[in-house]
């Protein structure tokens, strides 16, 4: 039966971690099965791991930092523009539903157009629409048009 441990094993491990075995420990490792196995494992690791580790060249820290910043910026932009995309998709879906209906109903029922025009003629603009309200409505429509055009051009 092989022994599982040796009282000098911690000394052998410490010595191997700092370089190589000293004279007395080398003689002990040549006769002790546990310590000789520790030395063989260390040699195998040095032969296999050290050359591979020396070939590894981690990227420069500034490159990693810039990539992380770029990824964080992209995620933030995606999160911030999500409501715009939802509104755009909703608008396109509504337009896809309303435009065919409007195309079908426009020639068949002009009565709703004349009713709407009659309603507009009967509105008393002197009381309902102050110059500030009209300016605000026109400005809002202009800004909505510009922002819609901007969003459509960016995508």
* 83 pLDDT more than 80: yes
pLDDT in tens, 98-146: 888 777 776 666 666 667 777 777 766 666 667 777 788 899 999 999 9
Helix axes 9-17, 23-31, angle to 10 degrees: 130
What does the domain layout of the chain look like in residue ranges? 9-55, 123-155
The token duo for 86 is 């939802």
66 alpha-carbon distance from chain centroid: 14
pTM of the model: 0.35
Identify which has the larger pLDDT, 107 or 33: 33
Q: Which of 25, 14, 148 is nearest to 90 (CA)?
A: 148
Q: How far is the CA of 27 from the CAs of 2, 21, 78, 135, in angstroms?
A: 19, 9, 66, 99
Element (H, E) at 47: helix 33-55
Q: How far is the CA of 25 from the CAs of 13, 31, 117, in angstroms?
A: 10, 10, 106
The rounded distance, in Å, linking the Cα atoms of 22 and 105 is 99
Distant-in-sequence contacts of 144-151, Cβ < 8 A, 24+ apart:
151/84, 151/88
């Amino acid at each position: 039966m092989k022994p599982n441990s040796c009282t000098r094993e911690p000394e052998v491990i410490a010595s191997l971690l700092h370089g190589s075995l000293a004279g007395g420990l080398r003689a002990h490792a040549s006769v002790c099965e546990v310590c000789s196995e520790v030395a063989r494992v260390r040699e195998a690791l040095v032969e296999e791991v050290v050359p591979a580790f020396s070939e590894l060249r981690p990227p420069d820290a500034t490159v990693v930092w810039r990539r992380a910043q770029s990824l964080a910026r992209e995620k933030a932009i995606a999160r911030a523009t999500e409501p715009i995309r939802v509104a755009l998709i909703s608008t396109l879906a509504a337009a896809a539903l309303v435009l065919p209906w409007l195309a079908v109903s426009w020639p068949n029922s002009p009565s709703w157009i004349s009713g709407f025009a009659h309603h507009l003629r009967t509105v008393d603009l002197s009381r309902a629409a102050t110059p500030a309200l009209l300016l605000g409505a026109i400005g809002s429509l202009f800004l909505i048009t510009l922002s819609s055009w901007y969003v459509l051009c960016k995508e």
